[in-house]
Copies of this chain bind each other. A is one copy, B any other.
């Protein structure tokens, strides 16, 4: 599928029309989404005969709608290379979902209008499920409107909930952050348990999928007594009695209890623990977050001294402890998307295909966007222990390679040297305004 020498332009390529590419970041950003941008831009730059310039959407797809695009040719090779080690979204991302074509035809038409005005023949959309849906729709409508754009999805989500791909770029680094942080905090709590904190709760992201929470399980070997002692997955309905029994057991046996809780942890009736705490269970008003709800439950019912942390954005921006595997894969999907586009593909997304667990081997494959759009991949049952509070050996086999390797950013005076782009706007060609 991919050419063996990516550097060389073929004879056929040389006669093909030169177009621009549009690249946009979508949804919550990650520690490595810029590594993907780096992969896209560096690869496109190697094919200047086919891709004249990569325009990036300022604030994601909104940049295309309002014709506010960034001229990435204005950035030096050195700066673009620096994207590989810079967290966040360098061009700005957006939580903005294009509605169905029938509901909001104007937006799609506007997109094509802008693409046409700027000779954009390639659309690279770097995001999660929603974005794959959008990319798919743009590919359809662009054809219908007589200006066919090659639309490539590029996977990105810390939640790891995209189907088909073995894992999603962004996840490995959050997984590493959560596993390392849990391991470190557990050592802290264990030292203090005799006279102080006995229970520590770490709240992690993941929405409705327990992938990130599961990664906390890598903090210990899985042997009895190793932290975390409890993981609360969104996939397992919360049972307060069983939970409290497990906390007490852990404190009595091992002196302490480390809990990793997913923000999506919920009761059997679907009510989130975070919500549930609001008034019902404790008579307290909810200030946000599931960690304090769980911590207070432990205090009120068992009387143990507790501490809790809410990792929030720290976990998904922690480029300083990114997984080398993740960085490589994030770059690779960007690179592959450009190569697929140049090979004439459209409405597809590069996916990561695992060849073997140990030694870990993977390659880039592709999947049609229609099979990915709007689908969520939950943590499979076989990754969750029978009691519902920890991960299985199968989960370990899956997770371990993804957190492997360190890829430290360069430092200056004790702080990571993250790059800042000039983000020079592309000159507008349309006189029309579009309000989003």
Contact = CB atoms under 8 A, between A and B. Distances in A.
Interface of A: 25, 28-29, 31, 59-60, 62, 86-96, 176, 179-181, 183-185, 187-197, 200, 202, 218-219, 277, 282-289, 291-293, 295-296, 307-314, 316-321, 323, 325, 400, 403-406, 408, 411, 413-416, 418
A290 B239 CA distance: 29
Contacts of A62: 194-195
22 contacts: A88-B184, A88-B187, A88-B191, A89-B192, A94-B195, A95-B192, A95-B195, A181-B314, A183-B415, A184-B416, A185-B312, A187-B317, A189-B313, A277-B287, A284-B286, A289-B308, A307-B312, A310-B310, A320-B321, A400-B413, A403-B413, A403-B415
A188 B88 contact: yes
Contact of A287 (B88, B89, B292, B321): B292
A101 to B, nearest CB: 21
Q: How many copies of the chain does the oligomer comprise?
A: 2
Given A180-B415, A314-B185, A415-B218, A288 B284 contact: no
B87 A184 contact: yes
B309 A312 contact: yes
Nearest to A312: B309
A179 B284 contact: no
Contacts of A92: 190-194
A180 B286 contact: no
A36 to B, nearest CB: 13
Nearest to A277: B287
A202 to B, nearest CB: 8
A191 B26 CA distance: 10
A295 to B, nearest CB: 7
A197 B312 CA distance: 12
B292 A308 contact: no
B314 A59 contact: no
Contacts of A184: 31, 87-88, 314, 317-320, 416, 418
**Looking at A96, A192, A283, which has the most chain B CB atoms within 10 Å of its CB?**
A192
**Looking at A184, A190, A308, A411, which has the most chain B CB atoms within 10 Å of its CB?**
A184
A367 B193 CA distance: 32
A202 B317 CA distance: 13
A93 B288 contact: no
B309 A194 contact: no
Contacts of A93: 191-192
